[in-house]
């Protein structure tokens, strides 16, 4: 093809070359699905671009592996990705602005990535993660209080006050005064794990520790709680 071609390399897989007459330098971009895309300036030959890729072979493999690991943990996104939120979605699009653009829709949010966004760049990953977490906090504050209140009433486990906030390491907590804190990142989990965390904290209104009495009470309230606990441990916090 005159303006583009795809070559498969044994160590790094498919690499897509695309000519851009406005580009000044050869650039390599790795998307969140692991696809390597190379922009070739108008006056540069594809042969020169291919040599450049070979020179960057080790760097490409390292970046691809890192992105794959982050992708598995749901911590890196690119255009075309859909981030599930309870009953809604965050759809990631490629934008042409210098900043992120967010539009709220009937079914969730559309996040338009800024021009030049590169999921392989740590600062871009961090900015995107922070934006997703901010939107998650908004949704969590809107939805989680009603779910907790409903579970509290259903199981006759009253609490004093609820706080929903971003937390780095904990899904929730319950104070000695029965004030419950919930991680806004819960909004990205499936319904059964949201319910597990909430019932876990509500059970702490009866037992403040993780004694056998606590786990017995939680298992009575939510059969299979220990299995949910294990599943939660393998979930990533987006907050």
Name the domain count of the chain. 3
pLDDT of amino acid 35: 81
Domain boundary among 34, 50, 72: 72
Geometric angle at alpha carbon 48, from 43 and 49, rounded to 5°? 90
152 and 104 share a domain?
no
CATH code assigned at 194 = 3.30.2010.10
| pTM value surpassing 0.85 | no
Q: Which domain holds residue 36?
A: 4-72
115 & 194 share domain: no
Residue 97 contacts residue 112 (beta carbons within 8 Å): yes
> Which of 117, 136, 155 is the C-terminal boundary of a domain?
136
* Class of residue 128 by CB neighbours under 10 A (exposed 0-12, middle 13-18, buried 19+): buried
Same domain for 122 and 52: no
pLDDT, tens digit, 9 for 90 and up, residues 156-202: 999 999 999 999 889 999 999 999 999 999 999 999 999 999 999 99
Same domain? For 101 and 87 the reply is yes
Name residues of the chain where pLDDT drops below 70. Answer: 1-2, 32-33, 70-74
């Amino acid at each position: 093809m005159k303006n583009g071609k795809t070559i498969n390399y044994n160590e790094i897989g498919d690499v897509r070359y695309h000519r851009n007459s406005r580009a000044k330098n050869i650039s390599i971009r790795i998307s969140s699905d692991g696809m390597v895309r190379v922009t070739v300036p108008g006056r540069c030959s594809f042969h020169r671009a291919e040599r450049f890729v070979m020179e960057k072979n080790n760097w490409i493999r390292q970046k691809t592996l890192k992105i794959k690991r982050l992708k598995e943990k749901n911590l890196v996104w690119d255009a075309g990705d859909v981030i599930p939120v309870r009953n809604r979605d965050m759809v990631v699009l490629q934008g042409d602005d210098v900043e992120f653009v967010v539009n709220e829709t009937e079914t969730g949010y559309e996040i338009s990535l800024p021009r030049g966004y590169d999921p392989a760049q740590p600062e871009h990953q961090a900015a995107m993660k922070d934006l997703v977490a901010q939107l998650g906090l908004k949704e969590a504050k809107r939805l989680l209080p009603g779910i907790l209140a409903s579970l509290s009433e259903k199981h006759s486990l009253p609490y004093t006050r609820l706080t929903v906030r971003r937390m780095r390491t904990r899904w929730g907590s319950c104070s000695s005064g029965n004030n419950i804190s919930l991680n806004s990142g819960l909004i990205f989990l499936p319904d059964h794990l949201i319910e597990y965390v909430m019932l876990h904290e509500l059970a702490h209104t009866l037992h403040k520790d993780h004694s056998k009495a606590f786990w017995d009470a939680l298992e009575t309230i939510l059969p299979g709680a220990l299995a949910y606990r294990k599943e939660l441990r393998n979930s990533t916090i987006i907050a």
